[in-house]
Amino acid sequence: MRKTVIAGNWKMNKTISEALDLVKELKNRIADIDDVTAVVCPTFLCVKSVADELKGTNIHVGAQNLHWETSGAYTGEVSAEMLLAAGAEYVIIGHSERRQYFGETNETVNKKVKKALAAGLKPIVCVGEMLEDREAGNTQKVVDDHVTNGLAGLSADDMKKVIIAYEPVWAIGTGKTATPEQAQEVHAFIRKRLAEIWDEDTAESVVIQYGGSMKPENVKELLAQKDIDGGLIGGAALKADSFEALVKYNK
């Protein structure tokens, strides 16, 4: 059985003091939950403070990006080793905003995934189509490209440590949400491709999150779908009450 993973992508929000205020509140609300894996992904500046505050709880910490090299002349970048030293366990890779604004490609995603795994971080790898892709009927083509090339060269054992987040980019921050049936269709397609590239057991073991405006109002319907194993949460992760409601969706 795949364990539900609810991960909050805070994006470029929260100062260190604001981040600590939020996780202190989350500690009181969800730190004892054990049937759902809860992850918070603050900015780089906040990772260590948040990880220190959450030490000893069931709330895990991730980062929003990393570089594929261990060190070097890469101004403004952060390595896997630095994230681990700061207390991160997870890292988001290839988010649509990274692709859209900062030139991420399948090639850079692939290098980052391999580096994260080699260092011992758990990658949350984002895949998904733009509105024009969906309207042109190219959803599966785009998602297949992201899965096949972003995860190229990984072993079956590697894949069992990877989380995939399906992001219909047209549903991020727009107020639009894929219907549970639309989301399930793409999640099922991803799992089918994992079985074809690796094997059935590997495909069944991989957690596939939904990353398109999951919120307390739609979480139950989405997570009732056979192949949706959690959420990569944006805005709803920035407030304790809404993130708590997501983590406790089945209570």
Catalytically active residues are: 95, 167
Which residue type does 137 have?
G
For residues 162 and 125, the answer to whether their CB atoms sit within 8 Å is yes
Measure the CA–CA gap between 107 and 247, rounded to whole angstroms.
33
Nearest to 164 by CA among 176, 151, 152: 151
Number of Cα atoms under 13 Å in the Cβ half of residue 161: 18
Main-chain dihedrals φ then ψ at residue 47, nearest 5 degrees:
-55, -50
Q: What are the helix (H) ranges across the chain?
A: 16-30, 44-54, 80-86, 96-102, 106-119, 131-135, 139-150, 156-159, 180-197, 200-205, 219-223, 240-247
Buried residues in 94-113 as b, exposed as e (16+ CB within 10 A) = bbbbbbeeeebebebbbebb
Nearest to 58 by CA among 92, 97, 29: 29
Nearest to 24 by CA among 2, 50, 45: 50
